[in-house]
Structure 1
Amino acid sequence: MKVRQIALVLHRYIGVTVGILLAIVCLTGSWLIFWKEINVFLNPQMFQVVPQGDRVSVQFVVDTVRSAYPDLQLNFMDLPRTLNSVYTVQMLLNNGGRLFIYLDPYTGSVLGSQEWGRTLMSFIYEIHISLLGGKAGETVVGICGLLLLLLSVTGLILWPGWKKLVAGFSIRWHSLPHLMNYDIHKVGGILSGVLLIAIASTGTAMAFETQFKSAVYSLAGTPKPPQLTSTIVANSPTIPADIVLQKADLALPSGKSLSITFPREPQGTFLVRKKLVGDIHPNGSSYVYLDRYSGEALRVENSFTTNAAFRIIISWFPIHIGAFGGLTTRILYVFIGFTPTLLSLTGLALWRRRQWRLAQRREANRQITATLAESQKSYPIAEWPWF
């Protein structure tokens, strides 16, 4: 069997089998490209900030949320990135859920809160990563990513433009429906193919993160970084959040601190994420780990000077969401997310027509067989026409 024939069979049956699931995952992915902006638009009261002097300290924000929610555990804080943005604090609920609290950076007052799973954007996110199926759903989505990657590669192999470039990009708008569907399918596929491969491969890597990380470190010949822990000091308090940021700036002076992850266990560590100049990751891809009691920098991971394995791993997310090219690629990714739906619909139309033609051919063959059988039928001698 030739490569093209194998590609055709795989492309045809994978598309028919999982086309609808791929369309759902990719459509929700398009929504999530601008999910923060959409969330602000839908809930303006929680994000309206009037710049007025200096911002309150990070520790003031920590004290405020701990006072307002004494029974919840502080997990994460996203720092304001512009003059008009807010502090976002994530607290862990007793039922395992997450509560996001938004605070005015100039007054420290609570502007509002959202429980994860009870908002439109979190609902769309859960569909995208798990089809609302929990861990099993995440595995299904990861497999869909692998199949999308295979669909994209086989589609590129089957593209007729390799033989004649003009034919590969032409659409016969006024021809028969099946010819127009075929042309839309081939042109849409080739225009989105490379980016769909990037999206599918990075999405699959994040869905099976543990396995792919191990594979990357193994292929790069780099040992996985060890798990860090703080040295527990009896009766010693956790250092204030403001000191954490100061220590992080001393350990990695360049760049801007964007977030703090707080320790959840007595031996846990602080993690400060920083974004250096030229970093394509929207949340920063340089990390500083600090001891929760002494503030000592336990490990610094500069995204520009660290090992190749780490740089590959941190590139998955910005490539997956189109952040590597700024606003232009993000907008482009929104449209790319619609192409699997278009390809699924046109591919299904082509598939149905093929099935209809096969059914017609089988019926014609049946009639021919029946006619031949009738013509060769044996008659009793008394019924022979010459008697």
Structure 2
Amino acid sequence: MPSTITTAPLLLAAALLSHAALAQEQPVRIGLSGPLTGANAFAGKDNENGVRLAVEDLNAQKIKAGGKVLRFELQSEDDQGDPKAGVNVAQKFADAGVKFVLGPYNSGVAIPASRVYDSAGILMSTVGTNPKITQSRYPNVFRIVASDTQVGASMASYAARELKIKTVAVIDDRSAFGQGIADEFARQARASGLSVAGREFTSDKSSDFATILTTLRAKKVDAIFFGGYAPQGAPMARQMIQLGMSGVRLLGGDTLCSPEMANLGGDAVGANVLCAQAGAMLDKQAGGAAFKAKYKARFKRDPDVYAPAFYDQTMFIGQAIKNAGAVDAAAVGRALHGTSYQGVAGTYGYDPSGNLKKTAVTVYTFKGGQLAPLASY
């Protein structure tokens, strides 16, 4: 009985101390906008995991601003990869007073959402690759990977120089991302001396490409570039083999550089599939292996395409807050523009439009269901 009497005041004192400590912390909400449901949910969850890991690491640093220790909190919202839903998410973040948003994942969502974020004074960091995203030169919109111009051009150059491809066809899914990267690939392909034998269109909901592929088979193309996402790219690879096009390579951008391609495509996804992804080879970066190990220990799976970039940009925002001594988005944006950050996937530094000043692009294929790097540009 005496121990109960003694313990109760101690528990009360501990609770009061904990409450006082929390009262002296300033919450900083980091918003995540991405496709958390639907065909691209695997990518949305991967992006979310990258931000979550960074939020945990930032909280361990006990960063201060305005004399208070900051407590970073993640608020995730499902934009469904849909422009209208993405704008609604942006407005929800604005109404909630969120000042920093990671995402959207899809270019078609990022373009209209960026206008809302700019009007609300919110700092947006996206992996949307369509060049239009940064052409408005909003001061607090950042593209944290290479653009379609860089990725599409690198894939075209590799196809011409290394694969010795002569004739190529182009398919896109009519999304802002798919059309953008397909246009850039086609432009650079022609500049590299390739013949573009056909341009076909599908949708980001399709799963049957037999008619399109039969048309392109008749044109005797050496390769097909697909501007679209893995949930369509994988069945396309399968159907190419079923139609006797096993010798025709399937090329794509960063969205095909995903384990989901192998998961969905199985044996049909191998050396016949090549893709170009923004960033240098993660395994060859100083912090790459450690990040992959940390990610797998925390989430029981390997990181997908963009988890490293989402992690790095969240950490960069934390550094910028520390440098600015404030959590004001405009001040943090100026700090991001005025400095650089060495992340696990490379060095981040932005030009006045919000594009990376310098970024590598790596071309990959698949071996045994895993991405295998071929070259970096």
**Is the TM value for this pair above 0.5?**
no
- Bigger share in helix: 1
TM-score, normalised to structure 2's length? 0.27
Q: Could you state the TM-score of these two structures normalised by the residue count of structure 1? A: 0.26
| Greater strand content | 2
Instruction: Please say which structure displays the higher CA radius of gyration.
Output: 1
